[in-house]
Amino acid sequence: MKKYIDTGKKDTRSGFGEGLLRAGKADGRVVALTADLKGSLKMDDFAAEFPERFIQCGIAEANMVGAAAGLAIAGKIPFIGSFAEFVTGRVYDQLRQEVSYGKTNVKIASSHAGITLGEDGATHQTMEDIALMRALPEMVVVNPCDYNQTLQATLAAAKYDGPVYLRFGRPSVPNFTDPDEPFEIGKAYVMNEGKDVSVFCCGHLVWEALQAAEALEAEGISVEVVNVATIKPLDGDTIVTSVRKTGKAIVAEEHNMAGGLGEAVAALLAQEYPVRLCFMNGGDRFGETGTPAGLMALYGLDAAHIIEKVKSIL
Amino acid sequence: MRIFEKFPVIIKIIQNKSMAKENLQKIASQVRRDIIRMVTSAKSGHPGGSLSTTDILTALYFEVMDHNPATWTRDGKGQDMFILSAGHLAPVYYSVLARAGYFPVSELGTLRKMGSRLQGHPSVRRSLPGVTQASGSLGQGLSVAAGLALAKKMDGDKHLVYVLCGDGECEEGQIWEGAEFATHHSLGNLIGITDWNGQQIDGSIESVCGGGDLQLKWQAFGWNTVTADGHDMEAILAAFAKAREMGRKTNRPTMILFKTDMGHGVDFMAGTHKWHGKAPNEEQCQQALAQLEETLGDY
């Protein structure tokens, strides 16, 4: 199988920070807003380089969304950044009226998504954000897999005309994709071709799936790993092509079952090409305090569990 | 043909900057007729707040704002901008926009009807000229206006951004997030307008959730405040002039609190919350129209 090398663990939010800086250099319309989380969102470099285009909003996310909509109407390209829960669930109605229904070119930079936020516990660990953002008409939902891809996805989001939800996490995770490969919104990336089972995944679970595929290859099991980095709009062609070949699939994500990638893929395949499907996700529950790796193991979302799941459906 | 050219009378009105208050009052009377007829025809909608803000919005669009319907674009570049935060005031907003030449007055009769550009609450999805942003879910327009005002500052555009909120709407927490943001970012080019009619759907503000002094609240958040009678054209124009000057001098946002009567201009609707969101029947409509002079011709 195709060999991926981890060039050193990096947090995906730093990929966003670097992407934001580059996007800002490339286009003077790019502005950044945060609700008192400049450091956590890695906006420091952008703020230092473009102080007049960095807008601190204080701990007031609802207003931040509205202000960003105003800036977008006036022709700016605003990126609003906070923790995933606080730029989705907390401000769902603002995003709905001002960004989605209001047709404004606002980019939502969502960090610390999922249980790997870790020790802060369930108040901060949203496992529902993809569902909320998928529900908004015309919202693009992107969850890149590593630092490099997050950087490229940020550049792509800046160029895209319309609202984009860009999801990334807190901890450092393996960095293994081509740093120079431009990100295509709406494309699912076949990371490894296989014939026995398809694994559709997003975020840092892509690395876990690749590790699982490598281990299974040694046992003679061929796994196709597809990085569904854009969850909406879903790349139906790539997903259907994959299951036509493998006939069965697993969907893995750091998100709950309701409204996540799993249900998106299930809805697609139910209509287009029904196959046996298994889901690996948070189920229907809240997170809890713990280390990122410990929680991923507890929730059954690591390479070891993917290996087990693949074997169970063969 | 541009929409603008279809309305020679209106062009004359817009171009004549020294329009006497009598003319504004005449326009306001026609706008009130429009509101009553639109809401009656739609069999739903919000006449109460529309009537209480009619004089203010008439003054704003026909005298105060530097705007041009013929060159208007959603981004508002090179013009003053207006955001209606209290989206349920759509009837007065649509009437004033149409009468000012943004779209044909004949379209007013389509309010709330299937396929209309005049959605129940303002929408940007039907390309209705003059509407900058959707509204309806309350408490959000001040934030949008603050973003627009900030963009104008960043771009060196000296034009102003106006935003209209209801007094009941100020129960929304986001209003106060927007208030502190506007002060923090020195938005002297932002002028807020409060329709201070003391009423909301469930009753008087006092009886529903009226804690504290509204003017002192704005002042506590660092805003300049101006108070005026929202049904006296001279007082309205003076309040806007004062607000512009205060904003320019202090570099701080300014809130004009206009004392108004919900339902103003129609005796049986005035001063009560009961007509906040209720349409008159045909008989009540005629009763209301009998009190309002037809000045520019009904649509």
Give a yes or no: residue B297 inside a domain. no
Which one of A18, A49, A52, A61 is the catalytic residue? A61
Specify the number of domains making up chain B.
1
Residue B47 belongs to domain spanning:
3-289
Res B18 pLDDT > 60:
no
pLDDT tier, A2 (very low <50, low <70, confident <90, very high otherwise): confident
Residue of A86, A97, A106, A136 best to disrupt the B interface, most CBs of B under 10 A: A97
Give a yes or no: residue B138 inside a domain. yes
Give a yes or no: residue B296 inside a domain. no
pLDDT (tens digit, 9 = 90+) per residue, A142-189? Answer: 999 999 999 999 999 999 999 999 999 999 999 999 999 999 999 999
How much of chain A exceeds pLDDT 90, in percent?
A: 99
A140-142 vs A223-227, strand pairing mode? unpaired
Q: Is residue A61 among the annotated active site residues?
A: yes
Distance CA(B23)–CA(B28), nearest Å, equals 9
Closest chain B C-alpha to A136 CA, distance in angstroms? 15
How much of chain B exceeds pLDDT 90, in percent?
A: 92
* B181–chain A Cβ distance below 8 A for any pair: yes
Give residues with Cβ within 8 angstroms of B18, minimum separation 6: none
Question: Domains in chain A, ordered, with CATH?
Answer: 10-173 (3.40.50.970), 189-313 (3.40.50.920)
Mean pLDDT, chain A, integer = 98
Distance CA(A147)–CA(B277), nearest Å, equals 52
**Cβ separation A57–B181 shorter than 8 A:** yes
Give residues with Cβ within 8 angstroms of A159, minimum separation 6: none
User: pLDDT value at position B29?
Assistant: 98
Distance CA(B82)–CA(B163), nearest Å, equals 6
ipTM of this complex prediction, to 2 decimal places = 0.96
* B12–chain A Cβ distance below 8 A for any pair: no
Residues of A at the B interface, defined by Cβ within 8 angstroms: 31, 52-53, 55-58, 60, 62-76, 78, 93-94, 96-98, 101-104
Residue of B85, B132, B143 best to disrupt the A interface, most CBs of A under 10 A: B143
User: pLDDT value at position B19?
Assistant: 58
pLDDT tier, B6 (very low <50, low <70, confident <90, very high otherwise): very low
CA A74 to chain centre: 28
Q: The domain spanning residue B173 has which CATH number?
A: 3.40.50.970
A140 SS3 class? strand
* B191–chain A Cβ distance below 8 A for any pair: no
Classify residue A94 by burial, with Cβ atoms within 10 Å: 0-12, 13-18, 19+. Answer: buried
Higher pLDDT, B20 or B265: B265
**Cβ separation A71–B147 shorter than 8 A:** yes
pLDDT (tens digit, 9 = 90+) per residue, A244-273? Answer: 999 999 999 999 999 999 999 999 999 999
In the predicted model, what is the mean pLDDT of residues B31-46?
A: 98
In the predicted model, what is the mean pLDDT of residues A18-47?
A: 98
Give a yes or no: residue B165 inside a domain. yes
Residue of B82, B126, B132, B133 best to disrupt the A interface, most CBs of A under 10 A: B133
Name the pTM for this structure: 0.95
Give a yes or no: residue B93 inside a domain. yes
Give a yes or no: residue B299 inside a domain. no
